[in-house]
Amino acid sequence: MRAYLDSLRDAGDLHVVRREVDPKHELAAVTAAFQKRNDGAILFENVRGAAMPVVSNVYGSRRRLCALIGAPDLAFCPAWDRLMAGAPERADLQQVPGNRRRVALSDLPQPVYFEKDAGPYITSGILLANHPETGVPTLSFHRAMHVDDGELRIRIGASHDLTRYQQTAEAKDEPLEAAILIGTAPEIFLAACASIPPDADELAVANALAGGPLDMAPCETVGLSAPADTQIVVEGRILPHERRPEGPFGEFMGYYVPEEPNHVFEVTAVTACADPVYHALVCGSPEDLIPLETAVASKIYRHLTARLPGILDVACNPQLLNTAVKIRPQYDGHARHVMLAAFGAHMDYSKTCMVTDEDVDIHDLNDVWWAFVTRGRADTRSLVVPDVPGFYRDPHRDHWGRLGIDATKPRGREAEFERKRIPGGERIDLADWLA
């Protein structure tokens, strides 16, 4: 991550806060205010009570995520698919000696994000674990609540690979060894976001993104190696048959998840590289939602392109549980096929699906809605699928049912709906005009 932060500084995308900030609420408040105006990263040099600086919004920009994977036209999904097609089956790893110092969990910055959060949380932590039987590594995000220097409580969603890994270990009454990576290089971060088939190797995805072997250093107390340049590594094990209260926590949808019994992570060591930077991530902010969007959208894109013609791009807004699909319509009812396929492509995030022509910006819901209301009837172009389960955490079935919106032009009347344009408008750079 250090090299990436240097490149952001050179590009003017790293903004520095020198005055002291309180890690309890103030750091999150300043970050959230900053994110409303800027998609750069923000570095807090002076965090009260902390021995290291804190950086946030490192990955909170679609523009930057697209640049990282070589998609300068901002079409993330097709570029991601091309990269994945070239990913090796197993990662090419280079073992390097460990050269890290031990710190205590309580030496790390202790950000508290939202008013009713149970306490400080690690929110950017990527869990690295090997499957107890096959050894295939997985990388995934899981929030972790600080309890004391020896214990974190972590939330593992039902659908994640790590859940299966933990269940396999638990069935043998064994703990699952894991390392929580805080402050990783972009390729590790993006690989952790990715939802790839369960038996696939997420370090191989990182390898493909890095374009060369990954440097891995042995952990000190667990049988794992972690990416050598990770700023902070929390080593430990997820205990079998042990659940303790975790939460409440202000999560991505904009509400608090209540206290629930969740997994216990026993901390066996915390190590840091030289001059570490702690990565704080505000849940539900662009740094959470944009990476999650790319992960969900690329999974749905892969599913749709394997089944239907004319799929150009997919955008997802996880907070809205919405999927927008840009197509080149090929036949009557094509948009409806796309909706039904999108509903089946992701059980959690496709509560609504909107399908547009290629002249619509699917990342701008105003534009998508404009296309829907100006290009045809509301009644015959919406599709309600009743009584289908949706987002997984839903005790009262609030997320049941699906809504599809066909925002494409009526077939055979496309010319009537040509978007007006000003010749040369797309080439205007206002800096040339506002002297």
Ligand X SMILES: Cc1cc2nc3c(=O)[nH]c(=O)nc-3n(C[C@H](O)[C@H](O)[C@H](O)COP(=O)(O)O)c2cc1C
User: What's the CA gap between 274 and 101, in Å, rounded?
Assistant: 8
Among 183, 236, 291, 404, binds ligand X (CB under 6 A): 291
Contact stretch for ligand X (CB under 6 A) within 108-116, 160-168, 321-329, 345-353: 160-168
Nearest to 14 by CA among 48, 47, 39: 39
For ligand X, the closer CB: 140 or 322? 140
Shortest distance (Å) from residue 287 CB to ligand X:
7
User: What's the CA gap between 16 and 18, in Å, rounded?
Assistant: 6
For ligand X, the closer CB: 343 or 349? 349
Strand partners, 406: 355
Among 49, 72, 150, 157, binds ligand X (CB under 6 A): 157
Shortest distance (Å) from residue 163 CB to ligand X:
8
Shortest distance (Å) from residue 314 CB to ligand X:
16
- Quick count: other Cβ atoms within 10 Å of Cβ 173? 8
Contact stretch for ligand X (CB under 6 A) within 10-18, 104-112, 156-164, 208-216: 156-164
The pairing of strands 93-95 and 137-141 is: unpaired
160 binds ligand X (CB under 6 A): yes
Largest CA distance in the chain: 70
404 binds ligand X (CB under 6 A): no
Cα distance between the two ends of the chain: 37
Taking CB under 6 A as the criterion, which residues in 195-224 touch ligand X? 195
72 binds ligand X (CB under 6 A): no
Among 21, 83, 122, 193, binds ligand X (CB under 6 A): 193
350 binds ligand X (CB under 6 A): no
Among 142, 326, 375, 381, binds ligand X (CB under 6 A): 142
Which residues in 193-246 belong to E strands, given as ranges?
214-218, 225-227, 232-246
Q: Nearest 5 degrees, angle CA 36-CA 38-CA 43?
A: 105
Taking CB under 6 A as the criterion, which residues in 173-192 touch ligand X? 192
Among 143, 263, 363, 402, binds ligand X (CB under 6 A): 143
> Which segments of 200-285 does DSSP mark as H helices, in order?
202-210
| CA Rg value for the chain | 23
325 binds ligand X (CB under 6 A): no
165 binds ligand X (CB under 6 A): no
Under a CB-based contact definition with an 8 Å cutoff, are residues 327 and 368 in contact?
A: no
266: Cα within 13 Å, side-chain hemisphere: 13
Among 238, 239, 292, 335, binds ligand X (CB under 6 A): 292
Shortest distance (Å) from residue 199 CB to ligand X:
11
For ligand X, the closer CB: 121 or 372? 121
The pairing of strands 260-272 and 151-154 is: antiparallel
> Containing H/E element for 35?
helix 26-37
Q: Which residues sit at the interface with ligand X, rule CB under 6 A?
A: 138, 140-143, 155-157, 159-162, 192-193, 195, 281, 288, 291-292, 295
